[in-house]
Amino acid sequence: MSTTTSQIDEVKTTAWAGGRSPFSVEYGKLMMWFFLLSDAFTFSTLLISYGALRFSSPSWPAPDLVFQSVPLTSITHGAPLVFVGIMTFILIASSVTMVLAVEAGHRNAKKEVVWWMIATVIGGFMFLGCQALEWTHLHEEGFWWGHIPSHEALKEFFHDEKLVNPVYTQQFANLFFTITGFHGFHVFSGVIINIVITINVLLGTYQKRGSYLMIEKVGLYWHFVDLVWVFVFTFFYLV
């Protein structure tokens, strides 16, 4: 009887009392993956909704005409992917600096972690600044949530003037600003989190713990934001 009780206690200790993770993944990191998975479902739902409307509509604004200008320049036509290309490059570059911050954390190189995190934060702010410029420019052209542009503006958004449709333009605008705004909110949240983590690095919080695992956790979030932008870019600017 005592042997059986001992075996049961051993099973409880090894299997249910905080033993080794079956996936060999730290708890906080695993929770981050769960959060990103749920967030991926949200973005997928939004993009699928956009795709359903886009491909079921007989006419739809042409991306190369809607996004053909470069804000803050004299370029108003004929440059459909220039500005968004700059935005995409900035976000990808910030993802690279985040990788370097994680790598420096693995080596416990505090100064390098700080500099790479600062570079990531700067990249995030630059992307948000570019998005604000793009939104402002589109708003000035009458392209906004729930707003139907003038007939002259509408004619610029379609390849064929016979297919000009204010309803589809409004749907496109609503989905564009909703989805890119939701992504922008994620970028802004990531920037704030990165600032907090950078301050903790400067205070020596993770050096005292003997691990920079928190950098890797926020890095997962930042890479997710970068990956989602690839899909947003494809759906709105290329298709």
Among 13-17, 24-28, 52-56, the range with the most confident prediction by mean pLDDT is: 52-56
Q: Say whether pLDDT at 9 is over 90.
A: no
For the domain covering 27-238, report its CATH number: 1.20.120.80
pTM exceeds 0.95 for this model: no
Percent of the chain whose predicted confidence (pLDDT) is above 70 = 86
Residue 163 has pLDDT above 80, yes or no: no
Residue ranges of domains in the chain: 27-238
Query: What distance lies between CA 181 and its chain's CA centroid?
Result: 10
C-beta separation of 61 from 174 below 8 A? no
Query: Pick the residue with more confidence: 80 or 164?
Result: 80
Distance of CA 132 to the CA centre of its chain: 15
Q: What is the separation of C-alpha 188 from the centre of its chain, rounded to a whole number of angstroms?
A: 9
Does residue 18 or residue 60 have the better pLDDT? 60
Segment 126-140 mean pLDDT:
92
Mean pLDDT of 121-138: 94
When pLDDT is averaged across residues 28-48 and rounded to a whole number, the result is 93
30 vs 103, higher pLDDT: 103
Q: Using CA atoms, how far apart are residues 99 and 187, in angstroms rounded to an integer? A: 16
Q: Cβ atoms within 10 A of the Cβ of 9, count? A: 11
Are residues 61 and 53 in contact, defined by beta-carbon separation less than 8 angstroms? Answer: no
pLDDT computed for residue 1 by the predictor = 47
**pLDDT surpassing 90 at residue 228:** yes
Tens digit of pLDDT for each residue in 173-208? 899 999 999 999 999 999 999 999 999 999 999 888
Q: Are 50 and 174 in contact (CB under 8 A)?
A: no
Identity of the highest mean pLDDT range in 18-22, 117-121, 235-239: 117-121
